[in-house]
Each structure stands twice: as structure tokens, then as C-alpha cells.
Amino acid sequence: MAYPPGVTTCPVSIKAPATFGGEDATVFLEVTPALRLIHTASGQTLADFVERSAPSVGGVATLNLPHSQPGFQDEAGNTVLSWPYTARIRYEYGGQKRHAPIKAFTIPADQPSVDLALIPSGPPISALTAPGPIVTTVNGQTGAVSVESLDYKLLARDPSQLWDGVVTYADGAPTSAAVLWPDGTAGVYTGTASVTFPGSIDAYTITHGTTTYTQPAVTRDASGNITLQPAITEETA
């Protein structure tokens, strides 16, 4: 299915590196949107799937993604004016793998293209919505809510974008992995596999230094669909 009429897109790319010996390496590109969008006029949903480009040996990996533009809302009905993407880049050569730092970016409406090599690494910013009431509580936090805390909680919603190295599976469900955060801090992901629905994770924790982000156990219906998902909690030792 094509984009709704009038939606504009932008090529997002990264060039494959060369080795110090002058050989071409392969580049892999994955981009994850920060949220699910609904096109207000048509009702069409743009789902927040991970977008993957074809691997490129000595060439350029490219994905076409929507600009930030009017006409979208989130699932709560808030008008969304701008949204971030998170890019994961991996280089391979001769059986060796190297991960580039995670990069977060938005695509302004008039941006003709995005070269990820020119984007600094770091956690994503939050999506920009139309003005609303003053925020006094976010995801269980009250009082002073820091942007950094919100950024890392956003990343913790999808631990797979932080995995770094070997991922251990149990009955098809990812149960443990080392993680690497955008600021270079290492951590550990630990998932609790669903007993009733093999291949699914019902709860997990992911650490960032001395801070642990926890996704409490979800509730599923008879088909395995999540019907209740508690907010992620944050605890610093």
C-alpha cells in the first residue's frame, strides 16, 4: 500500500566503509521510528516497524522515510508535528562485525536527503506534538522529569535496538543480551519468556550503568495479543 496522497519522503543513507587495507566492507542499515502515526485525513496507520535496507558492499545503503509534516496524529489523538527516527548501522568484512554508535534524527519538511555519516550519535529527542497542558507526570515520573530520562525510557521500549553481540534465545524468545547505549554505557538485557505463547516476551529488564529499566509483565488474551502493558519503571541503585 502506498503512502496517503501528499505525504513526502526523503532518502536516508549511509555509505559502506573501506578497510585500512583498501578493501570494500558491507554496510547494513536499520531505522526505527519513535512512534506509530495515523494519517488524519485518510485514517491510514504508519506502523513503527524496523525498516531495513538491502546490504551494500562498497556502496550506499538507503531507505526512503517520511518527512516530519502536517497531517498526522498519534494513537491518543494528539497532533504530531515532528517525530524522531533511530538508526542502527553495522559494518561487516571478512566475518568481522562492527557497530556504529546509534544515531537519532528528525527529517524537516524541506530536507532533500539525510547522510547519516554527518549525524552525531546520541539518544533520540521526543516527538513534538501540538501545544497541550503542562506536563506534571510522564510514564510514572512526577515533578522534575529530565529529557535524558525520557530519552532512555524511549530506547528501553525496544531493547533490540541496543543489543550488542550475541543474543540468547529460549523457544524463539530473546532472553538475554549485552547492550550498548548511545552514550557508550554498557548494560544487560534480560527477558522473561512467555510460558503460554512460545517466542514471546512477557517482561524484561535492561540496565544502563546503575539504572535498571523494567517492563513489568504484560497481560495477553487467548490469541496472545497484549491487552494490558504497564509503563516501564526506572530504578537507580
Is the same domain home to 107 and 146? no
Q: Which domain holds residue 186?
A: 139-237
Give the model confidence (pLDDT) of 193-215 as tens digits. Answer: 999 988 889 999 999 989 999 99
Same domain (yes/no): 104, 28: yes
- Other C-beta atoms lying within 10 Å of the C-beta of residue 131: 7
Please give the pLDDT value at position 26: 96
Give the separation between CA 26 and CA 236, rounded to whole angstroms: 39
Q: What is the pLDDT of residues 102-132, one digit of tens each?
A: 888 889 888 899 999 988 776 555 555 444 4
> 144 exposed, middle or buried (CB, 10 Å; 0-12, 13-18, 19+)?
exposed
pLDDT band for position 75 (cuts 50, 70, 90): confident
Query: Is 191 in contact with 174 (CB distance < 8 Å)?
Result: yes
Residue count of the chain: 237
Q: pLDDT digit string (tens) for 22-68?
A: 999 999 999 999 889 999 999 999 998 999 998 999 999 999 999 99
Same domain, 109 and 150: no
Cβ partners under 8 Å of residue 51, min gap 6 = 30, 31, 32, 33, 63, 65
Q: Give residue 142's pLDDT.
A: 41
Identify whether residues 124 and 183 lie together within a single domain.
no
Local structure of residue 18 (DSSP, 8 states): B
**Is a pLDDT exceeding 70 seen at residue 2?**
yes
Residue 72, pLDDT > 70, answer: yes
Task: Supply the pTM of this predicted model.
Answer: 0.56
Half-sphere exposure in the Cβ direction for 194 (13 Å, CA):
18
Considering the domain architecture, whether residues 20 and 106 belong to the same structural domain is answered as yes
Q: What span, in angstroms and rounded, lies between the C-alpha atoms of 103 and 117?
A: 9
Domain boundary among 132, 165, 183: 132
Mind listing the pLDDT tens digit for each residue in 15-32?
Answer: 999 999 999 999 999 999
CA atoms of 143 and 189, how far apart (whole Å): 28
| CA angle, residues 208, 233, 212, in degrees to nearest 5 | 20
Same domain, 118 and 164: no
